[in-house]
Chain A
């Protein structure tokens, strides 16, 4: 089966600019996750969707980050405006249903904010 797809793979922007990331999960997976991985740290969950509803967004900086999952399939994560500390790899993952189901990760988008 096809894996989790993400685009773009790399993005360089200046602070205060906007950026958007796209994710296409594995077909049939109900749950989609966005993680932020800062250099030297493990992935940190930003937001979790089940179908097109938000399950957990407690660690999403809502003043600048937003995410949506269209029709319970694809998802976009947006940052507006970006800060230097947003430089990180943004990982998308999906699982069949619950968080305890195996999560399959995409290749990630490496964001550099100058």
Chain B
């Protein structure tokens, strides 16, 4: 069965630090990859997605993610985090032909001023 692993459950950073959140998926075929974010008190919302083409995807608020097929990974990055990036981040995948979004367990990010 398809699965998504997010290795860091909790991350604490100071403002201006760089961020990288790991995401690995288990499926050998075509995948569509997503990062969703849930800010405190808000709905889950799409941050960025990858379907095909350039493996480096840019999303909202300065976030980017890189698809590395050989590593089955889709890590999320931001060069300099802000206090307002405090949120929970979910990696998700739709494996080819399955038409179902599979989420990882999420990573809680706390950014201290």
Which residues from chain A sit less than 8 Å from chain B, CB to CB?
3-4, 33, 40-45, 48, 55-56, 91, 93, 98-100, 102-108
B44 to nearest A CB, angstroms? 4
B94 in contact with A105 (CB, 8 Å): no
B43-81 near A? 1/0 per residue, CB < 8 Å: 111100101000000000000000000000000000000
Interface size on B, residues (CB 8 A): 19
A16 to B103 CA separation, bound complex (whole angstroms): 29
Q: Which B residue's beta carbon lies closest to that of A45?
A: B100
Main secondary structure of the interface of A (DSSP, over half): loop
Separation of A42 and B90 alpha carbons in the complex (Å): 7
Residues in B lying within 8 Å of A, measured CB to CB: 4, 32, 43-46, 49, 51, 90, 92, 94, 99-106
Given A42-B105, A43-B103: A106 and B46 within 8 A (CB)?
A: no
A100 to chain B, nearest CB (A): 5
Partner of B100, one of A56, A91, A106, A108: A56
